[in-house]
Amino acid sequence: MLNKRKYFINLAILLLLGCTSSGRLASENKDREALKEKTMLSSPDTERKVDSVLALMTIDEKVGQLVQYNGKWDATGSKSSKRYKYKIEKLKKGEVGSMLNIISVTSIRETQRLVMEHSRLKIPLIFGYDVIHGYQTMFPVPLGESASWDLEIIEQSAAIAAKEASASGLNWTFAPMLDISRDARWGRIMEGAGEDTYLSTQIGVARVNGFQGNNLSDINTIAACAKHFAGYGFGEAGRDYNTVQVGEYELHNIILPPFKAAANAGVATFMNAFNDIDGVPATGHKILQRDLLKGKWNWEGFVVSDWGSIGEMQAHGYATDKKHASEIAIKAGSDMDMESYAYEASLKPLVEEGKVSIALIDDAVRRVLRVKFQLGLFDDPYKYCDEKREATEVYSTEHLEIARDVAKKSIVLLKNEKDILPLSKDLKSIAVIGPLADDKDSPLGNWRAQAKYNSAVSLLEGIKAAVSDNITVYYEKGVDLTVPTVTPGENQFLFPLEFNTTDRSGIPKAVEAAKKAEIVLLAIGEDAYQSGEGRSQTDIGFKGLQMELLEAIQKVNKNIVIILMNGRPMDLSRPSELVPSILECWHLGSQSGHAIADVVFGDYNPSGKLPVSFPHNVGQEPLYYNRKNTGRPSSKGNVAFSSYRDAPNTAFYPFGYGLSYTTFTYNNLNLDKTEITVNGSLEVSVDITNSGNVDGEEVVQLYIRDLVGSITRPIKELKGFKKLKLKAGETQTVKFTIDSETLQFYTANKKWEVEPGQFNIFVGGSSETELQDTFVVIK
Ligand code: NOJ
């Protein structure tokens, strides 16, 4: 079969040899040169092959390449269902370009075969899946992993996710999510890198590089997808899928840079978004997709719609029917239709009626084919289908070890009065209490791909494994976090959780355990499915009876460390009044319990920093450090200023904040120049000393403030960071370069440029650092 298919392709190539290639390699900029080296840009040879295949295709086959179906057969009905049979027929006719949610080498091979053995042109399918923070070996949820500020391990975890996914036959992940989010109410904040544009850009590129490696056709790599283009993280009031109102400058300065960087890094695909932006649904947004992404940015991959988002333009009140929606979407630059069943029925008639030009269809098909060629699927459609590889690569011991390393580096120490942490291994007794204390499932987090239900190392297991038999470990759950609404492990993605727990019967036992123990580790926070898609909340406190449990325990034992597990910033104001120590442990993945034990006992000195602000209360949301000053910056004592009467403007735990078991001091902030031109550069240096008694790591952060601009500018903006290892007593000098790339922004001229004027510069261990200096930019 394969030979016959190759024959077709080769014939087509021969026929069209000499045809003009797309000429996309003309651009000489250095990003593209680097991409060429990494073979992330299409070559003239690939372009010739793409054109040659395209020339053979009928309109039905072309439209088919733009169709993506869900392959979770059980979700769409049984194998005897009409929909199942319909999809099989379409696959056999070669009228499907991609499938999502098909799991395992066996199923992928079976599905690919339907195309290879029955269709006319035998154009291989590309198989996509949400591999968000691991395939079966789970890493921390992306927000948690971002707290490591460690680009190397972030790239490494994406590379392992790609290795496992590709070993299971997959070619494409719908990640990374590059949506900036400043709103803790939005459950999907767990899937991104937090509130800051610079940090999200760096992390986004690391994730793209991790998934894609240096070569998409490498057996261990998969195509990545920059999503959701654009603005999805800015849904009004933190409500998922809600309308987005952002101005042009906010869009360009805050939301788009991570996407631009991903495009420059050669991300193979983009996904658009469910939301509208200022009245235009992202899926039908021509300015964003066709003019900016494919035009100005000169990006050559393909755009997939979000699930059903083409059809949803009807509900938005932007399209009269699916045909109208298809016309808008294809013109706007949405290349592939994920599960709307709109393109398959509408594109051909739209072309026949002259409403959509065949050139637009060809452009979209060309983009899809290009990625398939780059993945090597035309050379061998079964290239990623190797059961032996699947059996050895997925969930390997080596991957689990790395997952533990990434997890411990993602933990943030938020509070540690009287140095209650790290615990001594000479303690006599510890009580491990709470609804999440022996939960082996929640640490896997939402968007957990093929993680096995209940497969994480629980906190209790981690603590027990770390201590000797001389320490008594008491365990009590105390209260339930949620009342299951479905059989655990089944369909939890789709069903809401019920927090209405009323059972207090475990509290007295928990209090007894707390009384007996020298120290309490209290695991509270959020269930795995409390954050993620469709999990918006108006209350970001502790659901159910968790606070009641904390208050009861605190009456008998003050030595409490809260082990916080969560996917979003939470309101920690009350708990932090009650306990001396809080360890932010997110949903840390497969090795959660071991990683937490590593930090609790000081085998690893915590080094994480918050990628997002934690508020005093939910009423402050959306909350972010790089806010505007306003015309009336807050002032104590006077009412007529931009402030709340019952809470400060600042965060409870700010962006960039995190403690260590040692302390760091910053000295000798020095700028080598105090004046530069718009194209000039200067060097900032600062000495950091580990002024405590143990070795540790510090994330040194650089912020700027542009004091006067052609549009109003934020009070601080992160522009650089470096993570350092410092031995106790050691001093290191860190240097940052400030140049036009650091200082430019999207100005009132609607261009990226540096504006002359005064700038403040801040360096320190959090966004609230006050160590500062100043310099001037002249023309
Ligand atoms: C909808 C989500 O918004 C998107 O991020 C995801 O990739 C698709 N569903 C496919 O599962």
Residue 633: strand, helix, or coil? coil
DSSP state, 290? I
In this prediction the pTM is 0.95
Domain boundaries, the chain: 411-620, 664-778
Q: How many whole angstroms from 221 Cα to the centroid of ligand 1? A: 20
Candidates 68, 127, 172, 174: which one to mutate for ligand 1, based on the most atoms within 8 Å of Cβ?
Answer: 174
Residue 430: strand, helix, or coil? strand
Which of the residues 306, 363, 386, 598 is marked catalytic?
306
Alpha-carbon torsion, ordered 647, 651, 653, 657, to 10 deg: -160
Which is it for the CA torsion 214, 220, 225, 226, positive or negative?
Answer: negative
Residue 352: strand, helix, or coil? helix
Non-local (6+) Cβ contacts of 729 within 8 A are 689, 690, 691
Residue with tokens 């031109």: 677
| Contact indicator for 529, 484 with CB cutoff of 8 Å | no
Looking at residue 22, its pLDDT comes to 34
Atom of ligand 1 nearest to the CA of 101: 11
For atom 7 of ligand 1, the residue with the nearest CA is 174
Residue with tokens 């933190």: 238
**How many Cα atoms occupy the beta-carbon half-sphere of 636 within 13 Å?**
1
Q: State the Cα–Cα distance between residues 626 and 613, nearest whole angstrom.
A: 10
Q: How many whole angstroms from 576 Cα to the centroid of ligand 1? A: 36
Q: How many whole angstroms from 227 Cα to the centroid of ligand 1? A: 9
Candidates 68, 130, 305, 309: which one to mutate for ligand 1, based on the most atoms within 8 Å of Cβ?
Answer: 130
Non-local (6+) Cβ contacts of 478 within 8 A are 433, 434, 435, 506, 507, 509, 510, 549, 553
Non-local (6+) Cβ contacts of 7 within 8 A are none
Residue 688: strand, helix, or coil? strand
> Where on the phi/psi map is residue 431: left (φ > 0), alpha (ψ -120 to 50), or beta?
beta
For atom 1 of ligand 1, the residue with the nearest CA is 307
Burial (CB < 10 A; 0-12, 13-18, 19+), residue 441, is buried
Alpha-carbon torsion, ordered 550, 544, 610, 234, to 10 deg: -160
Non-local (6+) Cβ contacts of 50 within 8 A are 42, 366, 369, 370, 373
What is the distance between the terminal CA atoms of the chain, rounded to a whole angstrom? 66
Q: Which CATH architecture has domain 664-778?
A: Sandwich (2.60)
Residue with tokens 């120590």: 581
Q: Within the chain, which residues score under 70 in pLDDT?
A: 1-33, 35-39, 73-78, 488-493, 496, 635-637
For atom 11 of ligand 1, the residue with the nearest CA is 130
For atom 9 of ligand 1, the residue with the nearest CA is 307
Q: Which CATH architecture has domain 411-620?
A: 3-Layer(aba) Sandwich (3.40)
Q: What is the DSSP string of 323-351?
A: HHHHHHHHHHT--BEES---HHHHHHHHH
Candidates 269, 306, 450, 493: which one to mutate for ligand 1, based on the most atoms within 8 Å of Cβ?
Answer: 306
Q: How many whole angstroms from 294 Cα to the centroid of ligand 1? A: 22
Q: What single letter denotes the amino acid at residue 233?
A: G
For atom 3 of ligand 1, the residue with the nearest CA is 306
For atom 10 of ligand 1, the residue with the nearest CA is 307
Q: State the Cα–Cα distance between residues 89 and 114, nearest whole angstrom.
A: 9
Non-local (6+) Cβ contacts of 435 within 8 A are 477, 478, 479, 480, 481, 523, 524, 544, 546
Q: How many CB atoms lie within 10 A of CB 633?
A: 13
Residue 180: strand, helix, or coil? coil
Cα 192 to chain centroid distance, Å, stands at: 3
Non-local (6+) Cβ contacts of 506 within 8 A are 476, 477, 478, 479
Q: How many whole angstroms from 302 Cα to the centroid of ligand 1? A: 16
Q: How many whole angstroms from 312 Cα to the centroid of ligand 1? A: 14
Evaluate the omega torsion of the peptide bond into residue 484 and state whether it is cis, within 30 degrees of 0.
no
Q: How many whole angstroms from 23 Cα to the centroid of ligand 1? A: 33
Residue with tokens 């034990």: 597
Q: State the Cα–Cα distance between residues 308 and 273, nearest whole angstrom.
A: 10
Neighbour order of strands in the sheet with 664-671: 664-671, 682-690, 731-738
Q: State the Cα–Cα distance between residues 582 and 520, nearest whole angstrom.
A: 12
**CA–CA–CA angle 169, 172, 177 (5° rounding):** 140
**How many Cα atoms occupy the beta-carbon half-sphere of 127 within 13 Å?**
30
Comparing CA positions, the residue from 388, 447, 444, 376 lying closest to residue 227 is: 447
Q: State the Cα–Cα distance between residues 369 and 699, nearest whole angstrom.
A: 43
Atom of ligand 1 nearest to the CA of 174: 7
Hey, what are 125's tokens? Answer: 């399918």
Q: How many whole angstroms from 492 Cα to the centroid of ligand 1? A: 16
| Contact indicator for 702, 684 with CB cutoff of 8 Å | yes
Looking at residue 518, its pLDDT comes to 98
Atom of ligand 1 nearest to the CA of 227: 5
426 a catalytic residue: no
Non-local (6+) Cβ contacts of 477 within 8 A are 433, 434, 435, 437, 438, 506, 510
Residue 466: strand, helix, or coil? helix
With a Cβ cut-off of 6 Å, ligand 1 is lined by 130, 174, 227, 306-307, 533
Q: How many whole angstroms from 306 Cα to the centroid of ligand 1? A: 6
Atom of ligand 1 nearest to the CA of 128: 10
Q: How many whole angstroms from 596 Cα to the centroid of ligand 1? A: 30
Angle 343-352/358-374 helices, nearest 10 degrees? 140
Burial (CB < 10 A; 0-12, 13-18, 19+), residue 678, is middle
Q: What single letter denotes the amino acid at residue 571?
A: D
Alpha-carbon torsion, ordered 406, 408, 414, 419, to 10 deg: -150
For atom 4 of ligand 1, the residue with the nearest CA is 306
Candidates 338, 339, 494: which one to mutate for ligand 1, based on the most atoms within 8 Å of Cβ?
Answer: 338
Hey, what are 445's tokens? Answer: 């987090």
Q: How many whole angstroms from 12 Cα to the centroid of ligand 1? A: 36
Q: State the Cα–Cα distance between residues 191 and 612, nearest whole angstrom.
A: 12
Burial (CB < 10 A; 0-12, 13-18, 19+), residue 594, is buried
Comparing CA positions, the residue from 290, 271, 289, 276 lying closest to residue 319 is: 276
Atom of ligand 1 nearest to the CA of 228: 5
| Contact indicator for 616, 648 with CB cutoff of 8 Å | yes
Q: State the Cα–Cα distance between residues 274 and 254, nearest whole angstrom.
A: 19
